[in-house]
Amino acid sequence: MGGQHATPGVRYSELRSRYSSTKDMLHTLFVCISGVADQLQTNFASDLRSILKTVFKIVASQAEPSEDDLCAAEAPHLADCPLCSSPTEAAGDRGWDCGFHGCVFPAGTHCRPEWVPDSACSQCSACRSPFTLLRRRHHCRSCGKIFCARCSPHTAALPHYGQPKPVRVCTHCYTTHLSPAPRSW
């Protein structure tokens, strides 16, 4: 990669060449910003995710589908589980880097499931309690659905989604789809 003194045009071309498609680039940007926004835990972060998701959908709908964008594998699935209804996509067989804070996703990483928009969910996906000023929305990083804090108290690393650090997951995903992390006593 070029040095810090490279012109913006050269830097842009170098970054652009890392991605196979606009969809790949925008998805990577969305994943990286979602991680930062999650850490901020503000209403602005939610708005930012919503805007980025809208931009991603617009650009993705104009792009022609390629074989790299097709699913190569699926996450564990239960036939009668309403939380398992969304398929996951594989990110391809190369590693990729979003360019922010060493956010590098290894080869074989799967794309995260599509997040349910905050505006589309007025109650917890598990206990059906309505969201209020005190009962906040939390996205499960494993399934993308929205839960209250009581129904998403767990954290787990999701290396198959390029998330090596523990992130919030719902009780269902934690107990059903994620193998327990080894404990170091």
What are the tens digits of pLDDT across the range 21-56? 777 777 777 776 666 655 555 556 667 677 777 777
Write down the pTM of the prediction: 0.44
Q: Is the pLDDT of residue 184 over 50?
A: no
Supply the pLDDT for residue 37.
58
Q: Is the pLDDT of residue 136 over 90?
A: yes
Q: Is the pLDDT of residue 143 over 90?
A: no
Supply the pLDDT for residue 34.
65
More confident residue, 183 or 73: 183
Whole-number percent of the chain with pLDDT over 70: 46
What is the mean pLDDT of the segment spanning 59-63?
Answer: 55
Instruction: Report the 3 state secondary structure along the chain.
Output: CCCCCCCHHHHHHHHHCCCCCHHHHHHHHHHHHHHHHHHHCCHHHHHHHHHHHHHHHHHHHHCCCCHHHCCCCCCCCCCCCHHHCCCCEECCCCCEECCCCCCEECCCCEECCCCCCHHHCCECCCCCCECCCCCCCEECCCCCCEECHHHCCEEEEEHHHCEEEEEEECHHHHHHHCCCCCCCC
Supply the pLDDT for residue 85.
58
What is the mean pLDDT of the segment spanning 112-134?
Answer: 89
**CATH architecture, range 8-177:** 2-Layer Sandwich (3.30)
Please report which confidence band the pLDDT of residue 78 belongs to, taking 50, 70 and 90 as the band edges.
Answer: very low
Q: What is the mean pLDDT of the chain?
A: 67
